[in-house]
């Protein structure tokens, strides 16, 4: 009787420790693990740490990248032997020692375990369920997931290798995903993968994952990409729980682990400056950010100790558009290509020679990591040692104190597009910060708002030349038009945002386009004019404006010059285009006109010709225009019909025939 009661209590004890699907939280553990070469020792340490985590009621534990061994390989036959015998602990003779040991520990402690190993596939022999493009030995960088019974339930191969020349990236971009008995589905990937749309953005957005697992051996880089900084920023921006386990090798700048919960920041994190192995455990709310009760938060190392953590620097900073920040209150803007940064900063006086200089930075470009070009955009304030940009980024000693009392960065940049193939967005924006102690600011200390100000911009265009029709034919056109673009560059024009939303297009209260063009000539053989002009428009319904919205008229002079006018007669919302669009059939089949340079500012008056003083809009206007034209240019020239430039000013058009 007594015996039974004890057993009952034991079982009850176990079931109390585990989180269930009904619980609104679970317990996660991550391991910061000091890199050492003896894999037998490492495996022993792993077993012990798994036990420690289980003692603290962890439901799941995550180990870093390649910290059992970076050289020895493990066969993970998830489509072969493991199908029949999913628990290596029960068939030790069939499997690698690593799988057997971790399986036993997971099973013994009833805990989910995620490890990362170098995986070997021997494609010189038939490897069941493996794809073998070549007959050779394949090495992958692989996460292996064990459930509480010790069964291998998932395998993920790193897609974005960081150098790692002996290894092969995943042969297909398969995502790592598994579901647990406590009702949480995890996505998982490895280290450098974090920088890429596939898998880092896709795994979250395609499957609505709220919890991400991240074994890593991260080489921290100032000012954006130190380990805890980017882990926390990712969790924040993607609004996920994030379990990051980092390999610790401070000599090469590898360190940093943490458990983060969406916009609540770090539940626990470390960024050690000394060789460290440490188990971090925290209760994690199933809804990211909805934390309750106490949690450890960032565990800070003395900044002096952190000096021994080697940090690399972002090599692209010198290509940025930057400005040195002066003490006091400043507001200004910096622009690089498609990125517009507005800064508002209030910084106090320098009060010591060792205080940092701060520089504001705008950047739109490409960084290269491990030979992979990675597109990055940013608006940043960085600390520097001197006024020289080459002295950025500088980690200043604590005594060089300089207060920043207000800091606000506003960034206008590329809008995110949804990639329907990948089922995720193609850009991620992170709020990043890095303090003297190599931790980011707590989310409590800043606000970060993203607004999709999806607004069409508009360009005025003039064209006389030959265009292609989908590469199958060419045709002459003469056009004066106003058209919508999704961005500031010409290649964003003539398209809609990938997802419609209202109030993204401008309201034109007034819009008048006047086109002076050669008068259409008849082709008597064909009984048809050699050119035709159309009034064209398009609104959000992908239909033209109803005729009651516009007036289209023309006059011609001496059978030589025709003036077409297209005018809105009432205010039109949601316009995508408004154009006098002419076909010139005589130049059909000629070569396509080449592209040209475009100004990228909204109204760059240096590259557009200012309009002359305009007359009152009366009926004598055409005559004034004609007078203007004939005074400066020969009608012969007009007959040749080279219309060079249309100038858009406010809501009307001015046309100029260029001089020879
Ligand atoms: C791959 O398989 C072949 C044939 O069984 C064997 O000779 C070779 O040693 C294996 N290679 C490795 C690295 O396991
Ligand atoms: C993800 O969530 C969105 C919106 O909540 C929903 O429309 C979509 O079907 C979900 N996708 C999956 C794979 O669950
Ligand atoms: C979606 O992503 C794939 C893979 O990166 C890419 O090839 C494709 O061009 C993208 N599609 C769009 C519309 O951007
Ligand atoms: C962050 O905010 C807390 C109050 O929420 C404050 O005590 C702390 O000093 C702030 N830390 C920094 C670095 O500003
Ligand atoms: C041909 O163009 C003239 C103007 O040059 C115009 O009056 C005439 O209506 C046009 N003919 C046709 C068939 O469009
Ligand atoms: C259209 O233009 C003609 C000629 O300029 C003008 O008489 C007429 O009033 C205009 N219609 C509207 C609705 O503005
Ligand atoms: C009309 O086009 C035809 C074919 O290009 C050309 O031969 C003819 O000269 C043109 N007519 C006029 C009046 O320009």
pLDDT digits (tens, 9 = 90+) for 494-536: 877 776 777 778 777 777 888 878 888 888 787 778 888 888 8
- Domains with residue ranges and CATH for the chain: 27-304 (3.60.110.10), 312-437 (no CATH), 457-659 (no CATH)
Ligand 1 pocket residue status of 602, Cβ below 6 Å: no
Sign of CA dihedral 207, 212, 213, 216: positive
Tell me how far apart the alpha carbons of residues 76 and 153 are, in angstroms, rounded to a whole number.
11
Ligand 7 centroid, distance to 526 Cα (angstroms): 10
Q: Measuring from atom 14 of ligand 3, which residue has the nearest CA?
A: 419
pLDDT at 654 over 70: no
What's the whole-number mean pLDDT along residues 242-258?
A: 94
Q: Using a 6 Å cutoff on CB, does residue 569 contact ligand 6?
A: yes
Average pLDDT over residues 88-112: 97
Nearest to 402 by CA among 317, 320, 345, 343: 345
CA–centroid distance, 423 to ligand 3, in Å, is 10
Backbone phi and psi for residue 157, each to the nearest 5 degrees, phi listed first: -105, 130
Nearest Cα residue to atom 11 of ligand 7: 523
Ligand 7 centroid from CA 529, angstroms? 9
Q: Is 544 helix (H, G, I), strand (E, B) or coil?
A: coil
Beta strands 550-557; 561-568: pairing state: antiparallel
How many angstroms separate the alpha carbon of residue 546 from the centre of ligand 5?
A: 24
Q: What are phi and psi of 136, to 5 degrees?
A: -160, 180
| Mean pLDDT of all residues in 598-609 | 42
Q: What is the average pLDDT value for the chain, to the nearest integer?
A: 81
Q: Which ligand is nearest to the CA of 201?
A: 3
Residues with a CB atom less than 6 Å from ligand 5:
519-520, 522, 529
Phi and psi (nearest 5°) for 342?
A: -110, 130
| Residue 418 Cα to ligand 3 middle (Å) | 9
Which ligand lies nearest to the CA atom of residue 510 in the structure?
6
- Report whether residue 136 contacts ligand 1, using a CB cutoff of 6 Å: no
Nearest CA to ligand 4 atom 10: 445
Q: Which atom, in ligand 3's list, is nearest to the CA of 417?
A: 14
pLDDT exceeds 80 at position 651: no
* Radius of gyration for the chain, computed over Cα atoms and rounded to the nearest angstrom: 32
Band (pLDDT 50/70/90 cuts) for residue 402 is: low
In this structure, which ligand is nearest to the CA of 206? Answer: 2
Q: Ligand 4 centroid vs 218 CA: distance in angstroms?
A: 27
Task: Quick: pLDDT tens for 269-309.
Answer: 998 889 999 999 999 999 999 999 888 988 877 766 777 78
Q: How far is the CA of 419 from the centre of ligand 2 (A)?
A: 15
pLDDT tens digits along 29-83? 999 999 999 999 999 999 999 999 999 999 999 999 999 999 999 999 999 999 9
* pLDDT score, position 175: 96
Measured in angstroms, how far is the CA atom of residue 207 from the centroid of ligand 2? Answer: 7
Nearest CA owner, ligand 1 atom 1: 122
**Distance in Å, CA 419 to ligand 3 centroid:** 6
Pocket of ligand 2 (CB under 6 A): 207-208
Give the Å distance between the CA of 205 and the centre of ligand 2.
8
Q: Whose CA is closest to atom 3 on ligand 4?
A: 445
CA distance 311 to 434: 12
Say how many C-beta atoms besides its own lie within 10 A of residue 607's C-beta: 10
pLDDT at 387 over 80: yes
- Dist. CA 298 → ligand 4 center (Å): 13
Strands (E), 170-218: 176-179, 185-188, 211-216
pLDDT of residue 127: 81
- Residue with the smallest CA separation from ligand 4 atom 8 is 445
Q: What local confidence, expressed as pLDDT, does residue 415 receive?
A: 77
Q: What is the pLDDT of residue 656?
A: 34
Ligand 2 pocket: which of 179, 208, 238 to mutate (most atoms within 8 A of CB): 208
Q: Which residues pair with 538 in a beta bridge?
A: 577
Residue nearest to atom 12 of ligand 1 (CA): 122
Is the preceding omega at residue 384 within 30 degrees of 0, hence cis? Answer: no
Confidence of residue 640 (pLDDT cuts 50, 70, 90): very low
The vertex-185 CA angle with 179 and 186, nearest 5°, equals: 105
Measured by CA distance, the residue closest to atom 11 of ligand 4 is 445
CA angle 647, 650, 654 (to 5 degrees): 30
Q: Between 444 and 243, where is the model more confident?
A: 243
| Residue 653 burial class via C-beta count within 10 angstroms: exposed 0-12, middle 13-18, buried 19 and up | buried
Q: Are 579 and 480 in contact (CB under 8 A)?
A: yes
343 confidence band (pLDDT: 50, 70, 90): confident
- Which has the minimum average pLDDT: 229-233, 356-360, 595-599? 595-599
Q: CA 581, CA 292: separation in Å to the nearest integer?
A: 63
């Amino acid at each position: 009787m007594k015996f039974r009661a004890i057993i009952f209590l034991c079982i009850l004890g176990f079931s109390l420790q585990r989180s269930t699907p009904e619980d609104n939280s679970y317990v996660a553990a991550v391991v910061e693990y000091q890199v050492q070469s003896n894999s037998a020792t490492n495996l022993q340490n792993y077993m012990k740490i798994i036990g420690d985590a289980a003692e603290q009621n962890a439901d799941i534990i995550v180990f870093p990248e390649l910290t059992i061994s970076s050289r020895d390989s493990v066969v993970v036959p998830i489509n072969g032997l493991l199908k029949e015998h999913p628990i290596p602990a029960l068939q030790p003779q069939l499997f690698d020692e690593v799988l057997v040991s971790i399986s036993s520990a997971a099973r013994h402690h009833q805990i989910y375990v995620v490890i990362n190993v170098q995986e070997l596939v021997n494609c010189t022999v038939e490897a069941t369920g493996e794809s073998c493009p070549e007959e050779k030995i394949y090495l992958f960088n692989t996460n292996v997931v064990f459930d509480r019974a010790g069964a291998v339930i998932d395998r993920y191969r790193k897609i974005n290798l960081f150098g790692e020349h002996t290894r092969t990236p995943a042969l297909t971009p398969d995502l790592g995903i598994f579901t647990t008995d406590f009702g949480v589905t995890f996505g998982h990937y490895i280290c450098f993968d974090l920088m890429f749309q596939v898998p880092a953005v896709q795994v979250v957005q395609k499957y609505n994952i709220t919890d991400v697992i991240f074994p890593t051996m991260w080489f921290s880089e100032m000012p954006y990409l130190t380990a805890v900084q980017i882990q926390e920023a990712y969790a924040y921006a993607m609004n996920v729980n994030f379990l990051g386990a980092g390999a610790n090798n401070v000599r090469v700048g590898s360190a940093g682990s943490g458990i983060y919960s969406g916009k609540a920041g770090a539940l626990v994190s470390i960024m050690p400056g000394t060789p460290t192995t440490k188990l971090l455990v925290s209760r994690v709310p199933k809804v990211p950010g909805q934390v309750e009760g106490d949690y450890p938060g960032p565990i800070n190392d003395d900044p002096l100790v952190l000096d021994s953590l080697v940090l690399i620097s972002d090599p692209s900073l010198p290509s940025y558009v930057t400005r040195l920040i002066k003490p006091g209150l400043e507001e200004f803007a910096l622009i690089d290509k498609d990125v517009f940064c507005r800064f508002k900063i209030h910084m106090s006086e320098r009060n010591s020679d060792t205080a940092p200089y701060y520089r504001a930075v705008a950047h739109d470009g490409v960084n290269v990591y491990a030979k992979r070009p990675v597109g990055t955009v940013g608006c940043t304030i960085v600390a520097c040692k001197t006024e020289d940009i080459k002295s950025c980024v500088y980690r200043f000693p604590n005594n060089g104190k300089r207060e920043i009392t207000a800091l606000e960065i506003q960034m206008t940049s590329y809008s995110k597009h949804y990639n329907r193939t990948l089922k995720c967005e193609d850009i991620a924006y992170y709020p990043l910060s890095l303090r003297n102690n190599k931790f980011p600011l707590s989310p409590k200390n800043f606000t970060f708002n993203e607004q999709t100000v999806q607004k069409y911009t508009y360009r005025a265009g003039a064209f006389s030349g030959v265009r292609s029709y989908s590469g199958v034919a060419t045709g002459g056109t003469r056009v004066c038009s106003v058209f919508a673009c999704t961005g500031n560059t010409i290649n964003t024009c003539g398209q809609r945002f990938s997802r419609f939303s209202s109030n993204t297009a401008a309201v034109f209260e007034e819009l008048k386009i006047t086109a002076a063009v050669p008068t259409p000539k008849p082709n008597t053989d064909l009984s048809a004019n050699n050119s035709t002009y159309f009034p064209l428009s398009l609104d959000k319904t992908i239909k033209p404006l109803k005729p009651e919205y516009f007036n289209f008229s023309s006059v011609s002079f001496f059978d030589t010059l025709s003036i077409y006018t297209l005018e809105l007669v009432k205010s039109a919302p949601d316009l995508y285009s408004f154009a006098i669009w002419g076909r010139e059939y005589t130049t059909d089949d000629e070569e396509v006109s080449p592209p040209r340079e475009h100004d990228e500012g909204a109204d760059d008056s240096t590259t557009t010709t200012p309009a002359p003083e305009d007359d009152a809009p009366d009926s004598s206007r055409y005559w004034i225009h004609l007078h203007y034209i004939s005074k400066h240019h020969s009608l012969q020239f007009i007959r040749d019909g080279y219309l060079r430039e249309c100038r858009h000013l406010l809501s009307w058009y001015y046309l100029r025939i260029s001089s020879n």
